[in-house]
Chain A
C-alpha cells in the first residue's frame, strides 16, 4: 500500500513568486491534514479536510495560503505571493478516522525555501 506522498520534495523560489505543494493521501483516507515546521520551531497545524470540505482551517497563517481538495482525493496548498517567513517544511498527513494521533500517516514533507 502506498503511503502519503508529497510533491515536490524541495522547492526554492524567490519572494513574491507562487508555489503549489501537492499531497496524495493514502487511498480511502477521508481526513487530510497540513502541518508546517518553520526552522527551529514546532510543527504547527495548518488545516484539516474531511473529504473535500475544510473541517478546520484555524491554523492557516493568512490569506496568501490557499488549500484545496477537489474531489476529496489529493490536496494542494498554494502560497501566493510567497514571503521569506513562509520557508519551512510542509507536512501532509492522512487518516481514515478523525485524527487521533495514533492513526495519522505522514508524508516526508516539502522543504520550501523562499529567497
Chain B
C-alpha cells in the first residue's frame, strides 16, 4: 500500500536559517505529491504540489522537487521566518480520491 515517511520533529531553527524537511514515499503507479501546512489554530492548507517526476513545486519561498529515482519530495526554504512556525505534512495521491499523509513535522522558528 501507499505510505509516506517524513522526518521526526520538532525542528527548531533561528530566523533566516535554511530549512529541510525530508519526505520519502512508497506508492503504486505515479502519485501526485503534496506538502500541506497547519498553522496554529487553523486547518490544513495546501502549500505546494508536484504531479510528475522532476516537477518542482514552490510557494511562499518553499520548494520541493519530485524525485522518482529516490522516491523523495523534500521540503526546503532558504531563509525561514518566525511566521513559518507550523506543522508540515507530506502527502501523496495515487489516483484515488484519498490522500495518504505522513506523521507531520513541527517547525519552530525563533527570532
Contact = CB atoms under 8 A, between A and B. Distances in A.
Interface of A: 3-4, 31, 33, 35, 37, 40-45, 48, 55-56, 59, 91, 93, 98-102, 104-109
B49 interface: yes
Interface in B14-57: 32, 34, 36, 41-46, 49
Given A45-B98, A48-B97, A101 B32 contact: yes
A40 B6 CA distance: 12
A110 B35 CA distance: 21
B97 A42 contact: no
B97 A41 contact: no
B43 A101 contact: no
Given A41-B103, A99-B97, A104 B43 contact: no
Contacts of B102: 42
B49 A56 contact: no
B103 A101 contact: no
Contacts of A45: 98-100
A106 B47 CA distance: 13
Interface string B67-94: 0000000000000000000000101110
Given A106-B45, A108-B42, A100 B101 contact: no
B4 interface: yes
Contacts of B89: 43
Contact of B103 (A35, A40, A93): A40
A67 to B, nearest CB: 15
A11 to B, nearest CB: 16
Given A43-B44, A43-B101, A101-B99, 5 more contacts: A35-B101, A40-B103, A43-B91, A91-B43, A101-B34
A102 B46 contact: yes
Contact of B43 (A56, A59, A100, A107): A107
A19 B102 CA distance: 27
A104 B93 CA distance: 12
